[in-house]
Amino acid sequence: MATTMKGAWTMEEDRILVKLVLRHGAKNWPTLSKSIEGRSGKSLRLRWLNHLSPKVNRNPFSPEEDQIIIRTHARLGNKWATIAKMLLNGRTDNCVKNYWHFSLKKRLPPIVDQPQEQENDRPEERPTLSANLPGGSDTDPSTSLTLALIRTVDREPTAAAAAVGDHI
């Protein structure tokens, strides 16, 4: 059985993968993997689709993309492939997910209308921000953050842009 290598891809492996895809096409990944020792077909496919393909959009996210991600996440939750398809510009689901978790979500304004828990408050009696959202739940903090930003966008689009930051 072949040993599977884990860890960062080398420039040489990337070069070989690009050559293989140019020669044979982006298909039949298990067969292509025989040309790169220690890498599986799945690993090759993910490396190509998320990093090396010329179709991947590597530009910074636009404010319009931010709003699409925020609004769609509020409706669908963590359905990253569906959200990426809505952007229609070469963003991968992995890229959108990472952007949400490591950048966009951290720049959302704090939740001001989150219900405060009191000693005799029973959870089933408290209103929740995500109760009417498909896929939303009380335990999903990103849904609450998303709802807070959507309310800000709906009331004052320029204030929401400032809250998210002029990063583009």
The mean pLDDT of 35-47, rounded to a whole number, is 95
Nearest-angstrom CA–CA distance, 151 and 127: 17
In which band, very low, low, confident or very high, does the pLDDT at 137 lie, cut at 50, 70 and 90?
very low
Q: Is 77 left (phi over 0), alpha (psi -120 to 50) or beta?
A: left
pLDDT at 27 over 70: yes
> Residue 135 corresponds to which tokens in the numbers above?
């896929």
Task: Say which residue, 122 or 10, is predicted with more confidence.
Answer: 10
Task: Say which residue, 167 or 83, is predicted with more confidence.
Answer: 83
Nearest-angstrom CA–CA distance, 154 and 142: 18
| Residue of 5, 81, 72 whose CA lies nearest to 44 | 5
**Domains of the chain, with CATH numbers?**
11-52 (1.10.10.60), 63-114+121-164 (1.10.10.60)
Within 8 A by CB and 6+ apart from 68, the residues are: 83, 86, 87
**Amino acid symbol at 31:** T
pLDDT (0 to 100) of residue 152: 54
pTM beyond 0.85, yes or no: no
pLDDT tens-digit map of 110-134: 754 444 445 554 545 434 434 444 4
| Residue of 132, 40, 23, 22 whose CA lies nearest to 31 | 40
**Amino acid symbol at 10:** T
Task: Say which residue, 96 or 132, is predicted with more confidence.
Answer: 96
pLDDT (0 to 100) of residue 78: 94
The mean pLDDT of 15-33, rounded to a whole number, is 96
pLDDT (0 to 100) of residue 149: 56
Nearest-angstrom CA–CA distance, 35 and 82: 33
| Residue of 32, 27, 72, 79 whose CA lies nearest to 49 | 27
The mean pLDDT of 3-9, rounded to a whole number, is 80
pLDDT tens-digit map of 50-84: 999 999 999 999 999 999 999 999 899 999 999 99
In whole angstroms, what separates CA 147 from the centre of its chain?
17
